[in-house]
């Protein structure tokens, strides 16, 4: 999950997610409640029916949802949508789905999309799924359906006993590799040194992925979020990884 709101917690219950065929898995996100302000709720009521869906068991009809066929990018853990909104504006030719669990963060994303409607660059290519990103990959997307996957600043779960909650582990890399088209890219960024080492080791071990070289099918330029800016201020190095799906 992206940005500062990912690093607060309400509960640390360790329950496996329902029906997950990958492995007995506890969620990689922290469960949080959050109420919406009146303007956020009003925007939600206007925009969510068109732009959002709850994560479910049925495969997505992506072309119907966007009203067109275009390269599809998935951002996992979009937080308040800073990166998703900026990158959607920068890549109008791409269909972007952002996955997030925190409702106020999604509401901020919807507000930013709505504000763009009064500019010269209205955002028409961003949709949002609320729920578990692994369930999205498993149940809602098909093999070789994605041109790109973005995971910016996932929760590092720094305590050793919580490492099993980390999103980017071998089974998730394997699932992402399956869902990427040949030549598609996985773009990851983290400010946590220990997690970066683990990500690099596991990502490099996935046989269908290789460190990316060449011209990317999607932009690798991302905005600096408030969360990343705080990391810079305390001297945390930003580790960035890009893998490509072998077989292009």
- DSSP string across 63-78: HHHHTS---EEEEE--
221 a known binding residue?
A: no
- Catalytic-role residue among 155, 178, 204, 229: 155
185 within 8 A of 148, measured Cβ to Cβ: yes
The C-alpha atoms of residue 106 and residue 95 are separated, in whole angstroms, by: 17
The C-alpha atoms of residue 78 and residue 35 are separated, in whole angstroms, by: 18
155 a known binding residue?
A: yes
Of 86, 57, 91, nearest to 71 (Cα)?
A: 91
100 a known binding residue?
A: yes
For 175, the 3-state DSSP assignment is helix
Report angle CA 55, 59, 60 to the nearest 5 degrees: 75
Active-site annotation holds for 38:
no
Q: What share of the chain is helix, strand, coil (3-state, %, to 5)?
A: 35, 20, 45
228 a known binding residue?
A: yes
132 a known binding residue?
A: yes
206 a known binding residue?
A: no
191 a known binding residue?
A: yes
Q: Is the dihedral of CA 168, 169, 171, 173 positive or negative?
A: positive
Q: Which residues are annotated as a binding site for S-adenosyl-L-methionine?
A: 75, 100, 132, 155
Q: Which residues are annotated as a binding site for substrate?
A: 159, 191, 225-228
Q: Which residues are annotated as a binding site?
A: 75, 100, 132, 155, 159, 191, 225-228
Residue numbers annotated as active site: 155
């Amino acid at each position: 999950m992206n940005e500062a709101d990912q690093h607060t917690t309400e509960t640390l219950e360790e329950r496996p997610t329902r029906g997950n065929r990958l492995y007995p898995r506890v969620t990689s996100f922290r469960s949080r409640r959050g109420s919406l302000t009146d303007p956020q709720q009003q925007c939600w009521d206007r925009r969510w029916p068109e732009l959002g869906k709850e994560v479910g068991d049925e495969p997505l009809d992506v072309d119907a949802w966007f009203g067109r066929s275009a390269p599809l990018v998935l951002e996992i853990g979009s937080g308040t949508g800073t990166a998703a909104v900026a990158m959607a504006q920068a890549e109008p030719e791409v269909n972007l789905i952002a996955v997030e669990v925190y409702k106020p963060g999604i509401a901020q994303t919807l507000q930013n999309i709505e504000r763009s409607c009064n500019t010269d660059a209205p955002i028409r290519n961003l949709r949002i799924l609320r729920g578990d990103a692994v369930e999205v990959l498993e149940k809602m997307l098909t093999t070789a359906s994605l041109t790109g996957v973005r995971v910016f600043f996932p929760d590092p779960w720094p305590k050793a006993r919580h490492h099993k909650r980390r999103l980017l582990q071998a089974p998730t890399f394997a699932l992402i590799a399956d869902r990427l088209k040949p030549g598609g890219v996985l773009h990851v960024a983290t400010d946590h040194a220990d997690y970066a080492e683990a990500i690099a080791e596991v990502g490099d071990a996935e046989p269908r992925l290789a460190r990316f070289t060449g011209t990317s099918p999607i932009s690798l330029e991302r905005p600096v979020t408030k969360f990343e800016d705080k990391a810079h201020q305390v001297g945390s190095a930003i580790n960035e990884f890009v893998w490509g799906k072998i077989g292009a």
